[in-house]
Structure 1
Amino acid sequence: MFFTDPARTPDPEAVAARLPRGAAVVYRAFGAPDALARARRLRAICKARGLVLLIGADEGLAQGARADGVHLPQRLAARAGRIKRAHPSWIVTAAAHGEAAARRAARAGADAAVVSPVFPSRSPSAGRPLGVMRLSLIARRAGVPVYALGGVSNENARRLVDAGVAGLAAVEGLASRT
Protein backbone atom coordinates (compact mmCIF):
# COMPACT_ATOMS: atom_id res chain seq x y z
CA MET A 1 0.00 0.00 0.00
CA PHE A 2 1.24 3.43 -0.91
CA PHE A 3 -0.23 6.36 1.05
CA THR A 4 0.14 9.69 -0.69
CA ASP A 5 1.34 12.72 1.21
CA PRO A 6 1.59 16.09 -0.57
CA ALA A 7 4.68 17.13 1.41
CA ARG A 8 6.60 13.85 1.21
CA THR A 9 5.43 12.59 -2.19
CA PRO A 10 4.51 15.60 -4.32
CA ASP A 11 4.26 13.42 -7.47
CA PRO A 12 2.13 10.41 -6.49
CA GLU A 13 1.53 9.55 -10.15
CA ALA A 14 5.25 8.85 -10.62
CA VAL A 15 5.25 6.54 -7.60
CA ALA A 16 2.06 4.76 -8.69
CA ALA A 17 3.57 4.17 -12.13
CA ARG A 18 6.31 2.08 -10.48
CA LEU A 19 4.23 0.02 -8.05
CA PRO A 20 3.90 -3.72 -8.60
CA ARG A 21 0.63 -5.21 -9.86
CA GLY A 22 -1.80 -5.78 -6.99
CA ALA A 23 -0.52 -2.91 -4.85
CA ALA A 24 -2.89 -0.25 -3.55
CA VAL A 25 -2.66 3.52 -3.73
CA VAL A 26 -4.41 5.49 -0.99
CA TYR A 27 -4.85 9.00 -2.34
CA ARG A 28 -5.23 11.51 0.48
CA ALA A 29 -6.24 14.81 -1.11
CA PHE A 30 -6.20 16.93 2.09
CA GLY A 31 -8.47 19.49 0.41
CA ALA A 32 -6.29 20.02 -2.67
CA PRO A 33 -8.05 22.16 -5.28
CA ASP A 34 -7.00 19.73 -8.04
CA ALA A 35 -8.08 16.62 -6.11
CA LEU A 36 -10.54 15.27 -8.67
CA ALA A 37 -8.13 15.72 -11.59
CA ARG A 38 -5.29 14.06 -9.66
CA ALA A 39 -7.56 11.24 -8.47
CA ARG A 40 -8.62 10.60 -12.07
CA ARG A 41 -4.99 10.53 -13.22
CA LEU A 42 -4.20 8.06 -10.44
CA ARG A 43 -7.25 5.99 -11.42
CA ALA A 44 -5.99 5.75 -15.01
CA ILE A 45 -2.54 4.63 -13.83
CA CYS A 46 -4.05 2.14 -11.38
CA LYS A 47 -6.35 0.65 -13.99
CA ALA A 48 -3.52 0.28 -16.52
CA ARG A 49 -1.15 -1.29 -13.97
CA GLY A 50 -3.56 -3.54 -12.08
CA LEU A 51 -3.48 -1.47 -8.89
CA VAL A 52 -6.24 -0.68 -6.41
CA LEU A 53 -7.15 2.97 -5.84
CA LEU A 54 -8.61 4.00 -2.49
CA ILE A 55 -9.49 7.59 -1.67
CA GLY A 56 -8.77 8.87 1.82
CA ALA A 57 -11.86 9.96 3.79
CA ASP A 58 -13.82 11.32 0.82
CA GLU A 59 -16.67 9.22 -0.50
CA GLY A 60 -17.68 11.87 -3.06
CA LEU A 61 -14.17 12.09 -4.47
CA ALA A 62 -14.02 8.29 -4.64
CA GLN A 63 -17.25 8.28 -6.65
CA GLY A 64 -16.09 11.07 -8.95
CA ALA A 65 -12.79 9.33 -9.63
CA ARG A 66 -14.41 5.89 -9.98
CA ALA A 67 -12.04 4.60 -7.32
CA ASP A 68 -12.09 1.08 -5.92
CA GLY A 69 -13.09 2.34 -2.48
CA VAL A 70 -12.10 4.49 0.45
CA HIS A 71 -9.68 4.51 3.36
CA LEU A 72 -11.06 6.02 6.55
CA PRO A 73 -9.07 7.62 9.36
CA GLN A 74 -9.65 5.98 12.74
CA ARG A 75 -12.05 8.73 13.82
CA LEU A 76 -14.34 7.93 10.84
CA ALA A 77 -14.13 4.12 10.94
CA ALA A 78 -17.73 3.83 12.18
CA ARG A 79 -18.84 4.95 8.70
CA ALA A 80 -17.48 1.76 7.09
CA GLY A 81 -20.75 -0.18 7.19
CA ARG A 82 -22.82 2.63 5.72
CA ILE A 83 -20.31 3.11 2.92
CA LYS A 84 -20.23 -0.64 2.19
CA ARG A 85 -24.02 -0.73 2.02
CA ALA A 86 -24.07 2.24 -0.36
CA HIS A 87 -21.20 0.85 -2.47
CA PRO A 88 -21.12 -2.95 -2.07
CA SER A 89 -18.29 -3.42 -4.57
CA TRP A 90 -15.98 -0.96 -2.82
CA ILE A 91 -13.06 -1.85 -0.61
CA VAL A 92 -13.25 0.03 2.68
CA THR A 93 -10.22 0.15 4.95
CA ALA A 94 -9.82 2.01 8.23
CA ALA A 95 -6.84 3.27 10.17
CA ALA A 96 -6.30 1.78 13.62
CA HIS A 97 -3.73 2.80 16.20
CA GLY A 98 -4.25 -0.18 18.47
CA GLU A 99 -6.16 -3.40 19.02
CA ALA A 100 -9.43 -1.83 20.18
CA ALA A 101 -9.55 0.43 17.13
CA ALA A 102 -8.83 -2.49 14.77
CA ARG A 103 -11.66 -4.48 16.34
CA ARG A 104 -14.02 -1.48 16.11
CA ALA A 105 -13.17 -1.13 12.42
CA ALA A 106 -14.01 -4.80 11.89
CA ARG A 107 -17.33 -4.47 13.75
CA ALA A 108 -18.16 -1.35 11.73
CA GLY A 109 -17.77 -3.30 8.49
CA ALA A 110 -14.30 -2.35 7.24
CA ASP A 111 -12.64 -4.87 4.94
CA ALA A 112 -9.24 -4.33 6.56
CA ALA A 113 -7.48 -2.27 9.21
CA VAL A 114 -4.28 -0.34 8.56
CA VAL A 115 -2.45 -0.43 11.88
CA SER A 116 0.18 2.17 12.70
CA PRO A 117 2.77 3.03 13.62
CA VAL A 118 4.55 -0.31 13.70
CA PHE A 119 8.13 0.98 13.57
CA PRO A 120 9.59 4.43 14.29
CA SER A 121 8.45 6.74 11.54
CA ARG A 122 9.28 10.18 10.22
CA SER A 123 5.59 10.90 9.75
CA PRO A 124 4.57 13.97 11.73
CA SER A 125 1.46 12.17 12.99
CA ALA A 126 3.24 8.98 14.09
CA GLY A 127 3.02 8.14 17.75
CA ARG A 128 4.98 5.59 19.74
CA PRO A 129 5.69 2.48 17.64
CA LEU A 130 3.62 -0.62 18.41
CA GLY A 131 6.36 -3.08 17.45
CA VAL A 132 6.16 -6.39 15.64
CA MET A 133 4.90 -8.52 18.52
CA ARG A 134 2.06 -6.16 19.38
CA LEU A 135 1.11 -5.92 15.70
CA SER A 136 1.09 -9.71 15.49
CA LEU A 137 -1.31 -9.86 18.45
CA ILE A 138 -3.53 -7.18 16.91
CA ALA A 139 -3.58 -9.07 13.60
CA ARG A 140 -4.72 -12.26 15.33
CA ARG A 141 -7.48 -10.50 17.27
CA ALA A 142 -8.71 -7.85 14.84
CA GLY A 143 -11.29 -9.89 12.95
CA VAL A 144 -10.21 -8.40 9.60
CA PRO A 145 -6.99 -8.46 7.60
CA VAL A 146 -4.39 -6.07 9.02
CA TYR A 147 -1.87 -4.00 7.10
CA ALA A 148 1.17 -2.54 8.84
CA LEU A 149 2.08 1.10 8.36
CA GLY A 150 4.61 3.39 9.93
CA GLY A 151 8.32 3.01 9.42
CA VAL A 152 7.90 -0.19 7.39
CA SER A 153 10.74 -0.55 4.89
CA ASN A 154 12.25 -3.17 2.67
CA GLU A 155 14.82 -3.70 5.41
CA ASN A 156 12.47 -4.38 8.34
CA ALA A 157 9.50 -5.97 6.53
CA ARG A 158 11.15 -9.37 7.03
CA ARG A 159 10.52 -9.02 10.77
CA LEU A 160 6.78 -8.90 10.03
CA VAL A 161 7.02 -12.06 7.95
CA ASP A 162 9.06 -13.82 10.64
CA ALA A 163 6.44 -12.86 13.25
CA GLY A 164 3.70 -14.52 11.23
CA VAL A 165 2.14 -11.44 9.71
CA ALA A 166 3.33 -12.31 6.20
CA GLY A 167 1.74 -10.38 3.39
CA LEU A 168 0.51 -7.65 5.68
CA ALA A 169 3.17 -5.00 5.26
CA ALA A 170 2.60 -1.59 3.74
CA VAL A 171 5.83 0.11 2.74
CA GLU A 172 6.06 3.84 3.30
CA GLY A 173 8.61 6.11 1.71
CA LEU A 174 8.46 4.09 -1.49
CA ALA A 175 9.21 7.15 -3.59
CA SER A 176 12.81 7.17 -2.40
CA ARG A 177 13.31 3.43 -2.86
CA THR A 178 11.90 2.74 -6.33
Structure 2
Amino acid sequence: MARCYSVPVKNRQSSLPTLWLVSDARNDAGLERALARLPRGSGLVFRHYHLAPEARRARFDALRRLAHRHGHLAMLAGEPALARRWHADGAYGAPERLPRRPGMARKPGMVHLATVHSLRELARAHRAGADAVLISPVFPTASHPGSGTLGPVRFKLLAARAQVSVIALGGITQHRARTARIPRWAAIDGLS
Protein backbone atom coordinates (compact mmCIF):
# COMPACT_ATOMS: atom_id res chain seq x y z
CA MET A 1 0.00 0.00 0.00
CA ALA A 2 1.36 3.43 -0.92
CA ARG A 3 2.09 5.92 1.80
CA CYS A 4 -0.28 8.86 1.66
CA TYR A 5 0.93 12.29 2.69
CA SER A 6 -1.43 13.25 5.46
CA VAL A 7 -1.44 16.66 7.10
CA PRO A 8 -4.36 18.26 8.92
CA VAL A 9 -6.10 20.69 6.54
CA LYS A 10 -5.32 23.76 8.66
CA ASN A 11 -1.58 22.93 8.62
CA ARG A 12 -1.26 21.49 5.10
CA GLN A 13 0.15 24.63 3.49
CA SER A 14 2.85 25.29 6.09
CA SER A 15 3.88 21.62 6.01
CA LEU A 16 4.57 21.51 2.29
CA PRO A 17 8.16 21.00 1.12
CA THR A 18 10.32 24.01 0.37
CA LEU A 19 12.15 22.28 -2.48
CA TRP A 20 10.51 20.54 -5.48
CA LEU A 21 12.09 18.55 -8.32
CA VAL A 22 10.00 18.72 -11.49
CA SER A 23 10.42 15.88 -13.98
CA ASP A 24 10.34 15.80 -17.75
CA ALA A 25 12.14 14.12 -20.64
CA ARG A 26 15.26 16.31 -20.21
CA ASN A 27 16.07 15.17 -16.68
CA ASP A 28 14.65 11.62 -16.73
CA ALA A 29 18.02 9.85 -16.79
CA GLY A 30 19.18 11.60 -13.61
CA LEU A 31 16.02 11.51 -11.51
CA GLU A 32 17.06 8.67 -9.22
CA ARG A 33 20.32 10.43 -8.39
CA ALA A 34 18.58 13.80 -7.95
CA LEU A 35 15.94 12.34 -5.60
CA ALA A 36 18.66 10.75 -3.47
CA ARG A 37 20.49 14.12 -3.18
CA LEU A 38 17.45 16.21 -2.22
CA PRO A 39 17.02 17.08 1.45
CA ARG A 40 14.61 14.72 3.22
CA GLY A 41 11.05 16.02 2.99
CA SER A 42 11.37 17.56 -0.49
CA GLY A 43 8.87 16.96 -3.28
CA LEU A 44 8.74 15.43 -6.75
CA VAL A 45 6.34 16.75 -9.38
CA PHE A 46 6.12 13.96 -11.95
CA ARG A 47 5.15 15.20 -15.42
CA HIS A 48 6.68 12.91 -18.08
CA TYR A 49 4.05 13.85 -20.64
CA HIS A 50 6.32 12.40 -23.33
CA LEU A 51 5.63 8.79 -22.26
CA ALA A 52 2.79 6.52 -23.36
CA PRO A 53 0.25 5.90 -20.55
CA GLU A 54 1.55 2.46 -19.51
CA ALA A 55 5.19 3.55 -19.54
CA ARG A 56 4.28 6.76 -17.68
CA ARG A 57 2.52 4.78 -14.96
CA ALA A 58 5.45 2.37 -14.57
CA ARG A 59 7.96 5.22 -14.37
CA PHE A 60 5.81 7.06 -11.83
CA ASP A 61 5.44 3.96 -9.65
CA ALA A 62 9.22 3.46 -9.57
CA LEU A 63 9.95 7.10 -8.77
CA ARG A 64 7.14 7.31 -6.20
CA ARG A 65 8.63 4.36 -4.28
CA LEU A 66 12.08 5.97 -4.39
CA ALA A 67 10.73 9.38 -3.37
CA HIS A 68 8.91 7.86 -0.40
CA ARG A 69 12.04 5.94 0.62
CA HIS A 70 13.83 9.32 0.88
CA GLY A 71 10.91 10.95 2.71
CA HIS A 72 9.71 13.02 -0.26
CA LEU A 73 6.23 13.68 -1.61
CA ALA A 74 5.36 12.35 -5.08
CA MET A 75 2.86 14.52 -6.97
CA LEU A 76 1.33 13.52 -10.29
CA ALA A 77 0.70 16.06 -13.03
CA GLY A 78 -2.88 15.44 -14.07
CA GLU A 79 -6.40 15.14 -12.80
CA PRO A 80 -6.84 14.55 -9.04
CA ALA A 81 -8.84 11.39 -9.77
CA LEU A 82 -5.88 9.97 -11.70
CA ALA A 83 -3.51 10.97 -8.89
CA ARG A 84 -5.70 9.05 -6.42
CA ARG A 85 -5.75 5.95 -8.64
CA TRP A 86 -1.98 6.06 -9.00
CA HIS A 87 -1.51 6.49 -5.21
CA ALA A 88 0.18 9.86 -5.63
CA ASP A 89 0.44 12.20 -2.67
CA GLY A 90 -1.36 14.82 -4.69
CA ALA A 91 -2.14 16.37 -8.06
CA TYR A 92 -0.40 19.12 -9.99
CA GLY A 93 -1.79 21.14 -12.86
CA ALA A 94 -3.75 24.11 -14.09
CA PRO A 95 -6.40 25.40 -11.67
CA GLU A 96 -9.09 24.11 -14.05
CA ARG A 97 -7.98 20.53 -13.31
CA LEU A 98 -8.61 20.85 -9.58
CA PRO A 99 -11.98 20.21 -7.97
CA ARG A 100 -14.27 23.23 -8.29
CA ARG A 101 -14.74 23.65 -4.54
CA PRO A 102 -12.29 23.10 -1.69
CA GLY A 103 -12.60 19.55 -0.41
CA MET A 104 -14.64 18.34 -3.40
CA ALA A 105 -13.48 14.91 -4.59
CA ARG A 106 -10.47 15.25 -2.29
CA LYS A 107 -8.90 12.20 -0.73
CA PRO A 108 -7.97 12.96 2.88
CA GLY A 109 -4.39 14.18 2.92
CA MET A 110 -4.17 14.67 -0.86
CA VAL A 111 -2.34 17.86 -1.81
CA HIS A 112 -3.35 20.02 -4.76
CA LEU A 113 -0.75 22.20 -6.49
CA ALA A 114 -1.86 24.65 -9.18
CA THR A 115 0.26 26.31 -11.85
CA VAL A 116 -0.20 30.07 -12.01
CA HIS A 117 1.06 32.66 -14.49
CA SER A 118 -1.28 35.60 -13.78
CA LEU A 119 -3.65 37.17 -11.26
CA ARG A 120 -6.58 35.59 -13.08
CA GLU A 121 -5.09 32.09 -12.70
CA LEU A 122 -4.25 32.84 -9.07
CA ALA A 123 -7.91 33.67 -8.42
CA ARG A 124 -8.94 30.40 -10.11
CA ALA A 125 -6.49 28.48 -7.93
CA HIS A 126 -7.98 30.07 -4.80
CA ARG A 127 -11.52 29.20 -5.91
CA ALA A 128 -10.44 25.63 -6.66
CA GLY A 129 -8.97 25.21 -3.18
CA ALA A 130 -5.33 24.72 -4.19
CA ASP A 131 -3.00 24.05 -1.27
CA ALA A 132 -0.14 25.86 -3.00
CA VAL A 133 0.58 27.59 -6.30
CA LEU A 134 3.61 27.28 -8.54
CA ILE A 135 4.08 30.77 -9.97
CA SER A 136 6.05 30.82 -13.20
CA PRO A 137 8.14 31.57 -15.11
CA VAL A 138 10.25 33.64 -12.76
CA PHE A 139 13.42 33.53 -14.91
CA PRO A 140 14.17 32.37 -18.49
CA THR A 141 13.84 28.60 -18.85
CA ALA A 142 15.07 25.87 -21.15
CA SER A 143 11.47 24.58 -21.27
CA HIS A 144 10.21 27.75 -22.96
CA PRO A 145 13.17 29.48 -24.63
CA GLY A 146 12.47 33.05 -25.65
CA SER A 147 9.21 33.27 -23.68
CA GLY A 148 8.50 36.20 -21.41
CA THR A 149 9.24 35.92 -17.71
CA LEU A 150 7.87 37.53 -14.57
CA GLY A 151 11.22 38.43 -13.06
CA PRO A 152 11.73 38.58 -9.31
CA VAL A 153 9.75 41.82 -8.76
CA ARG A 154 6.58 40.77 -10.62
CA PHE A 155 6.87 37.29 -9.09
CA LYS A 156 6.87 38.82 -5.59
CA LEU A 157 3.94 41.11 -6.44
CA LEU A 158 1.90 38.12 -7.62
CA ALA A 159 3.05 36.00 -4.67
CA ALA A 160 1.93 38.72 -2.26
CA ARG A 161 -1.66 38.25 -3.49
CA ALA A 162 -1.60 34.49 -2.85
CA GLN A 163 -3.73 33.14 -0.01
CA VAL A 164 -1.82 29.84 -0.06
CA SER A 165 1.82 28.75 -0.11
CA VAL A 166 3.82 29.93 -3.11
CA ILE A 167 6.44 27.90 -4.95
CA ALA A 168 8.61 29.71 -7.53
CA LEU A 169 9.21 27.91 -10.83
CA GLY A 170 11.08 28.74 -13.99
CA GLY A 171 14.84 29.09 -14.27
CA ILE A 172 15.29 28.79 -10.51
CA THR A 173 18.60 27.64 -9.08
CA GLN A 174 19.75 27.56 -5.48
CA HIS A 175 21.76 30.74 -6.09
CA ARG A 176 18.82 32.59 -7.68
CA ALA A 177 16.44 31.48 -4.93
CA ARG A 178 18.84 32.67 -2.23
CA THR A 179 19.61 35.97 -4.00
CA ALA A 180 15.91 36.75 -4.61
CA ARG A 181 14.96 35.50 -1.12
CA ILE A 182 12.55 32.90 -2.46
CA PRO A 183 11.93 30.33 0.30
CA ARG A 184 9.99 27.71 -1.72
CA TRP A 185 11.05 26.78 -5.23
CA ALA A 186 10.89 24.11 -7.89
CA ALA A 187 13.20 23.30 -10.76
CA ILE A 188 13.83 20.88 -13.60
CA ASP A 189 17.41 21.64 -14.62
CA GLY A 190 18.31 23.48 -11.42
CA LEU A 191 18.02 20.28 -9.35
CA SER A 192 18.87 17.57 -11.88
- Fold agreement, TM-score > 0.5: yes
For residues 82 and 144 of structure 1, do their structure 2 counterparts lie closer, same or farther at Cα, with a shift above 3 Å needed? closer
1:99 Cα offset (Å) = 2.3
- The aligned residue for residue 49 of structure 1 is 70
Deviation at 1:138, TM superposition (A): 1.1
Aligned partner of 2:57: which letter?
L
Q: Determine helix, strand or coil for the equivalent of 2:99.
A: helix
Cα distance change of structure 1 residues 87 and 80 upon mapping to structure 2, 3 Å threshold: farther
> Which residue matches 1:104?
124
Give 2:38's aligned residue: 19
What one-letter code is carried by the residue in structure 1 that aligns with 2:56? A
* Structure 2 residues without counterparts, runs of 5 or longer: 1-19
TM-score, with normalisation over the residues of structure 2? 0.78
- Structure 1: give runs of 5+ residues left out of the alignment: none
* Deviation at residue 41 of structure 1 after TM alignment: 0.9
Percent of residue pairs identical: 33
Matched residue of 1:41: which SS? helix
The structure 2 residue matched to 1:127, chosen from 122, 129, 147, is 147
1:10 pairs with one of 13, 23, 28: 28
1:169: which partner in 2?
A: 185
Given that 2:21 and 2:191 are in contact with CA atoms closer than 8 Å, whether structure 1 keeps it comes out as: no
Could you say which structure has the greater relative contact order, defined with CA pairs below 8 angstroms and 6 or more residues apart? 2
Listed one character per residue, the Cα deviations across residues 33-92 of structure 1 (whole Å, up to 9, x for unaligned) are 312211111111111111011000143542343111010135x34536477533131000
- When the two structures are aligned, how many residues end up with a matched partner? 170
1:130 Cα shift?
0.3
Offset of residue 136 of structure 1: 1.0
- Cα distance in structure 2, aligned partners of 1:80 and 1:71: 15
Q: CA RMSD in A?
A: 2.3
CA contact (8 A) 1:115 1:135 kept: yes
Query: What residue in structure 2 maps to residue 28 of structure 1?
Result: 47
Question: TM-score under structure 1 normalisation?
Answer: 0.83
Say if 1:9 and 1:175, in contact at 8 Å, map to a contact too: no
